[in-house]
Amino acid sequence: MELDAHRTELTVHCYRMTGSFQDTEDLVQETLLRAWNARDRYDPTRASVRTWLYRIATNACLTALDGRARRPLPSGLGAPGDDPGAPLAPATDVPWLQPFPDGRYDVDARTELRLAWVAAVQLLPARQRAVLILRDVLAFTAAEVAEQLDTTVAAVNSALQRARSTAATVAAGSADTLREPDDLRQRAAVDRYLAAFEAADVPALVGLLAEDAVLEMPPVALWFRGPEAYGAFMERMFRLRGTGWLTRPARANGQPAFAAYAREGGQHRLHSLQVLNLADGRITRNTVFTDPATLRAFDLPETIR
């Protein structure tokens, strides 16, 4: 029985369920171990290996999520900040949503992996989240999902209806972050943004922003909306950390991203991973991750000389 061939898709599934890449790796290992130990009890007349593995993985995720708080982004916790000079104290008590390192897996860029989508489904109760992902993303039938979750088809359909309603309400407020932008236009906008960032050219950065662009920086709960606040914060950041930054392209959640390196003596040290959303050739959101554990997941060099 070939189990490891399903590792990548199970990894993506567990990430969608939990919003935590660190938890995901452990859950996939647990899923494959459970499957191996139960291989003699697998009945191919009842389900394919893939369906059977998704049942094990989904229930492992539901157990892991029991009693845990959802993983948000700062923009999901309250109103935007109005003081770009406010203290940048990390909220270490919040289990923040983590990005997914595309480069470690052969994963297609899909809307259902984007940060905005994963953050939206985190609002759902865990079983509704599972039903939505299994039905609408993975296209399992209602009967298959009922079998996977040990419930009835009627209960699956009811949970799916509630989950779709909640997800649609959330998406209505951020539809631009869920669209697939034109690749050429996207690449050109990203290239211009990186050039402006390395030059510490705040007016050029602001000129690339959408009218309601968001800047957020977990684990700092503070976030900003609009080019004026975004630009004011970037001016503060360049004053504090200096200019002469370097960037390296990256990918996260099927989205363009980049690693930012701040000048430190005779070298540049890794500062952050920044994940961009775009629509109509403009930056609609920049989610800046600085947590060391998150950065390690992307296998980025610590310094560049």
CATH no., domain 180-304: 3.10.450.50
Taking the model in full, what pTM does it have?
0.92
| Residue-by-residue DSSP string for 43-60 | -TTT--HHHHHHHHHHHH
Domain ranges across the chain: 4-176, 180-304
User: What is the topology classification, in CATH, of domain 4-176?
Assistant: Arc Repressor Mutant, subunit A (1.10.10)
Which whole-number Å values give the CA distances from 226 to 6, 80, 84, 223, 229, in the listed order? 42, 10, 12, 10, 6
Residue 48 has pLDDT above 60, yes or no: yes
What is the band of 90 on the pLDDT scale with cuts at 50, 70, 90?
Answer: very high
CA–CA gap between residue 301 and residue 289 (Å, rounded): 15
Q: What is the pLDDT of residues 136-195, one digit of tens each?
A: 999 999 999 999 999 999 999 999 999 999 888 776 555 444 444 457 888 899 999 999
Q: What is the pLDDT of residues 255-296, one digit of tens each?
A: 999 999 999 988 999 999 999 999 989 999 999 999 999 999
User: Are 97 and 71 spatial neighbours (Cβ–Cβ below 8 Å)?
Assistant: yes
Average pLDDT over residues 238-260: 93
**The pair of three-digit structure tokens given for residue 156, joined into one six-digit string:** 């699956």
Which whole-number Å values give the CA distances from 27 to 35, 89, 131, 208, 291, in the listed order? 12, 31, 18, 39, 21
Average pLDDT over residues 27-32: 96
C-beta atoms surrounding 244 within 10 Å: 13
Q: What percent of the chain has pLDDT over 70?
A: 94
Question: What is the pLDDT, as a whole number, of residue 105?
Answer: 85
